[in-house]
Structure 1
Amino acid sequence: MTAKQLPIQRVLIVGSPGAGKSTLAKKLATRTGLPLIHLDELYWNPGWIKVEPAVWQQRLAEALAAERWILDGNFSTTLRERALRADLVVFLMPPRLLCLWRAFWRERLNLRPHARQDGAKWPSRALLLDIWQFPPQAQQQRQELTQLPNLKVVVLRSDAEIGAWLAQQSIATDHNT
């Protein structure tokens, strides 16, 4: 890293449900030492009960105010706000069927038992719509974000691309440089 190159300190990871956001975020946090924040933990109270809008905005503002972070999650209504504070946005764009498959198995294996509300059955219509509608929505979002100054946008479309990208990262996390 040259003396003038600033290290990446704030990373957004977005993608369809089942795209691998949390998995990549955990691996990147381990590799870089950047603090990991799951947006779901800011937006939901225990039992997957939505927080009040003012509480959500306060929690998000506090997270964004930090100097270093990885934020994992979609929440498209706040994407621009988060991107304005980020150095890098990583869009995970694996095929829809793979996302559906992963979401199905995550539920089937009960990997997120806390995510069920009042005995809701999988697949929920909202989850299926989120997965199906993500690619066109993300295309528009990427186009908007590429216009922001000093923001790098990366698109990864497969596990192989994700692995290769992660392997080549030399993200400096020394915030004193």
Structure 2
Amino acid sequence: MERVTIVGPSGSGKSTLAKRLGKRFGLLVFHMDQLFFDPGWIEKSKEALLEETKQILDENEHWVIEGNYGKTLPSRLSKSTNVFFLDYPRRIYTYRVLKRLVQTYGKVREDMAPGCPERIDLPFLKYVWDFKTRRRDKLLKLVQSELPSNCKLVIFKHPKECERYLENEINVYSN
């Protein structure tokens, strides 16, 4: 694994997977949420986000980038060797988001931009709930349409599938 893009709904474990892959395979890890927000949850312009993403892609040979951000996906996918789509049931990622809110409320998570503490945000909760019905298919189509022929796409339907895959991949790369 050299250049990995991870997509999926909030709470699916994109950041956790990115950190695991980064540690195991010696890849730099980038979180799109860190790139997208300035302190105080101020959203950067699309142009600034695209430029920061381009800079990461141009300056680094090996990486994991997690997060959806559709405007940046074509450039990330064009350089990816592996793409993981965490396509879990709504009950799993919604529960994880709620659990995360309780555990980290008022704190800045390491995968978030500085100055962006965890908060209860009803529009975000609605975004999470609506992912499966409003965003999933569009995201999957975008990934499939932009996927280079030499890139491996793996869609995980459950965290256990992802875990089994990682165990197998780590064994393959260890031998």
Q: TM-score when scaled to structure 1?
A: 0.79
Select the structure that is richer in helix.
2
Q: 1:45 aligns with which of 38, 45, 69?
A: 38
* Distance of 2:34 and 2:6 partners within structure 1: 15
For the residue of structure 2 that corresponds to 1:17, the secondary structure is coil
Deviation at 1:136, TM superposition (A): 5.7
Contact 1:95 1:157 in 2 (8 A): yes
2:12 corresponds to which residue? 19
**Matched-pair contact (CA < 8 Å) for 1:142–1:153:** no
Determine helix, strand or coil for the equivalent of 1:137.
Answer: helix
The runs of 5 or more residues in structure 1 that have no matched partner are 1-7, 173-177
Whichever residue aligns with residue 86 of structure 2, its letter is L
Q: 1:62 aligns with which of 38, 43, 55?
A: 55
1:33 aligns with 2:31: no
User: What's the RMSD between the two structures over aligned residues?
Assistant: 2.6
| Change in CA separation of 1:113 and 1:119 when aligned onto 2, cut-off 3 Å | closer
Q: Counterparts of 1:157 and 1:112 in 2: how far apart (Å)?
A: 31
Aligned to 2:86: 92
Percent identity, aligned pairs only? 28
- CA offsets 1:114-156 (integer angstroms, 9 cap, x no match): 37x9999625223322442246633343344335322211011
Given that residues 106 and 119 in structure 2 are in contact (C-alpha distance below 8 angstroms), is that contact kept between their aligned partners in structure 1?
Answer: no
Structure 1 runs of 4+ with >6 Å offset: 117-120
Distance 1:122 1:36, change over 3 A: same
- Distance (whole Å) between structure 1 residues aligned to residue 20 and residue 51 of structure 2: 27
Q: Tell me, yes or no, if the aligned pair for 1:37 and 1:70 is still in contact at 8 Å.
A: yes
1:71 Cα deviation (Å)? 0.1
Count of aligned pairs: 164
Distance 1:152 1:135 in 2: 25
Which structure has the larger Rg?
Answer: 1
